[in-house]
Amino acid sequence: MKKQMKNNKARCGNFFSLFTFHSSPLKAFTLAEVMITMALLGVLAAIAIPAVMKVKPDSRGVMFKKAYSTLEKTVSDLINNDLYYPSTKVTPTDCTSPTMPNGTACGFAYTATTTNMGIPNGLDKFNYTLIQELNTAGSAVDADKSSLKLVFTTTDGIAWYLSNSSFTVGATNYKYIGVDVNGPAKGDDCINIDGGDVPIGLFTTCSANQVPDHFVFEIRYDGKIKTCGTLESDYLKNPTKNHL
């Protein structure tokens, strides 16, 4: 019995010895190890940061797409409003294209005053009706932007420049509307002319190191909208991607 107890004690001693902790001197990182680690982190950051910046949503593209959507809806509402622009019973003298036959709709080329609506006629009619349809912040003012004169800002901060040119009926006749997507006096305030048909002098052209925040839309008498340049087309396809 004593021998068995002795053996059990020995086995227990061996078991508890597994949980015996032996103290040892603490080791710290050397200065060389710290410097190497920091250098590696710097290299990783230099690789990762540009990649992250490329996937960061482009706010200019997002605001451009918003301006396009806003304009598209507003133009559609106006062109389909018979009170503003009748679709039938139009006489040639009511349009900027007097050769059109009676009963033919001339869309935005219809410049006659709308009865009892208080809407001006002539060149100011489209500008007036467009502003009335949008949520503007403050009143419209005249501004010297080449052929784009009238400027107003919508509640989302986008500045709009409307030309005083008239609509004429024709497949290739368009009226220009400019936008500053981040508002006046913010950003580089320039436009990227990259294959579009924007007339020189409409906005300031961007230099090599500048980022465009001015864009131009073209509207036809029948409400068709098109953009100027390849950058605008890219933003419409993928507004969050940085295309520059």
pLDDT in tens, 181-236: 988 778 888 887 665 555 545 677 888 888 888 888 889 888 999 887 778 888 88
> Is residue 13 one of the residues assigned to a domain?
no
Whole domain around residue 223: which residue ranges? 60-237
Report the number of distinct structural domains present in the chain: 1
Residue with tokens 């609509």, as numbered in its chain: 167
First-last CA distance in the chain: 89
Q: Which residues contact 194 (CB under 8 A, 6 or more apart)?
A: 229, 230, 231
Q: To the nearest 10°, the Cα dihedral for 214, 155, 222, 129?
A: -120
Residue 107 lies in a domain: yes
Evaluate whether residue 166 is within a structural domain.
Answer: yes
Domain presence at residue 17: no
Q: Tell me the average pLDDT of the chain.
A: 74
Domain contains 132: yes
Both structure tokens of 191: 């436009």
Other Cβ atoms less than 10 A from the Cβ of 160: the count is 24
Model pTM score:
0.68
pLDDT tens digits for 112-149? 766 556 666 665 678 888 888 888 877 766 655 445 56
Q: Which residues pair with 95 in a beta bridge?
A: 110
Is 65 part of any domain? yes
Higher per-residue confidence, 46 vs 160:
160
pLDDT (mean) for 11-36:
63
